[in-house]
Chains A and B, each alone.
Chain A
Amino acid sequence: MKPLLEVDNLCISFGNQATMRHVVENVSFHVHAGESLGIVGESGCGKSITSLAIMRLLGGNSRVSGQIRLNNKELLSLSENQMRTIRGKDTAMIFQDPMTSLNPLLTIGKQIGEVMEQHDNLPRDEVKKCVLELLTRVGIPRADEIYHEYPHRLSGGMRQRVMIAMAIACQPLLLLADEPTTALDVTIQAQILDLLQKIRKENRMALIMITHDLGVVAEVCDRVMVMYAGQVMETADVRTLLRTPMHPYTKALMMSRPQSAKENRRLNTIPGSVPSPEHFPNGCRFAPRCDQVMPICYEKTPALAPAGEGSACRCWLYDENKESKEVLV
Chain B
Amino acid sequence: MNASRPLLEVKGLQKWFPLSRGFLQSSRFVRAVNNVDLIMRKGETVGIVGESGCGKSTLGRCILRLIEPTDGEIWFNGTNVSSLSKQAMHKYRRNMQMIFQNPYDTLNPKHRIRKILSEPLIAHRVPKEEHETLMVNILERVGLRKEHLERFPHEFSGGQRQRICIARALILGPELVIADEAVSALDVSIQSQILNLLQDLQEQMGLTYLFISHDLSVVQHISDRVAVMYLGEIVEMGDKQSFFQKPLHPYSQALLSAVPKNDPDENRERIILQGDLPSPTNPPSGCKFHQRCHVAMEKCKTEAPLLKEVEGRQVACHLYA
Contacts and interface: CB of A to CB of B under 8 A. Distances in A.
A166 to B, nearest CB: 19
B192 A186 contact: no
A193 B264 CA distance: 13
Nearest to A219: B260
Nearest to B160: A273
A189 interface: yes
B138 interface: no
B216 interface: yes
Interface stretch (B112-120, B171-179, B251-259): B251-259
A213 interface: yes
Interface string A203-216: 00000000011111
Contacts of A188: 51-52, 276
Interface stretch (B60-68, B79-87, B267-275): B267-275
A266 B189 contact: no
A266 to B, nearest CB: 5
Interface in A74-89: none
A218 B221 contact: no
Contacts of A191: 272-273
A43 B262 contact: no
A215 B262 contact: yes
A268 to B, nearest CB: 6
Contacts, number: 113
Is chain A's interface secondary structure helix, strand, loop, or mixed overall? helix
A269 B217 CA distance: 16
Given A190-B258, A269-B193, A257 B187 contact: no
A184 B52 CA distance: 7
Contacts of A194: 272
B270 A190 contact: yes
A258 B220 contact: yes
B261 interface: yes
Contact of A267 (B51, B195, B260): B195
Interface stretch (A118-126, A152-160, A292-300): A152-160
A181 to B, nearest CB: 9
A239 B265 contact: yes
A268 B190 CA distance: 10
A269 B192 contact: yes
A43 B158 contact: yes
Contact of B195 (A193, A218, A258): A258
Given A215-B259, A218-B260, A258-B220, A268 B270 contact: no
A218 B192 contact: no
B276 A43 contact: no
Nearest to B220: A258
A113 B29 CA distance: 34
A74 B60 CA distance: 53
B218 interface: yes
A218 B276 contact: no
B258 A43 contact: no
Interface in A215-253: 215-216, 218-219, 238-239, 242-243, 252-253
A268 B255 contact: no
Interface residues of B, number: 43
B218 A258 contact: yes
Contact of B275 (A141, A243, A256): A141
Nearest to A267: B192
Contact of A157 (B52, B193, B270): B52
A253 B214 contact: no
A267 B221 contact: yes
A185 interface: yes
A255 B255 CA distance: 24
A111 B270 CA distance: 33
A20 interface: no
Given A141-B276, A155-B52, A218-B262, A186 B214 contact: yes
Contacts of A269: 189, 192-193, 196
Contacts of A213: 188, 260
Given A218-B262, A253-B189, A186 B255 contact: yes
Interface in A34-80: 42-43
A268 B192 contact: yes
B43 interface: no
B189 A155 contact: no
A266 B193 CA distance: 9
Contacts of B260: 186, 189-190, 193, 213, 215-216, 218-219
A19 interface: no
A137 B93 CA distance: 49
B265 to A, nearest CB: 7
B52 A256 contact: no
B95 interface: no
Given A186-B255, A186-B259, A273-B157, A238 B264 contact: yes
Interface in B138-189: 157-160, 187-189
Contacts of A42: 187-190
A261 interface: yes
Nearest to B261: A218
The 9 closest A-B pairs by CB, nearest first: A215-B260, A267-B192, A190-B258, A258-B221, A185-B214, A270-B189, A186-B258, A256-B192, A258-B217
26 contacts: A42-B189, A42-B190, A141-B276, A155-B277, A185-B52, A186-B258, A187-B254, A187-B255, A187-B273, A188-B51, A189-B258, A190-B270, A194-B272, A212-B188, A215-B260, A219-B264, A239-B265, A252-B189, A256-B188, A256-B189, A258-B192, A259-B217, A267-B221, A269-B189, A273-B159, A273-B190
Interface of A: 42-43, 141, 155-158, 184-191, 193-194, 212-216, 218-219, 238-239, 242-243, 252-253, 256-259, 261, 266-270, 273
Given A155-B52, A188-B52, A214-B262, 18 more contacts: A157-B52, A158-B276, A185-B52, A185-B214, A186-B258, A187-B258, A190-B258, A191-B273, A193-B260, A218-B261, A219-B264, A242-B262, A252-B189, A256-B189, A257-B188, A258-B221, A259-B217, A269-B193
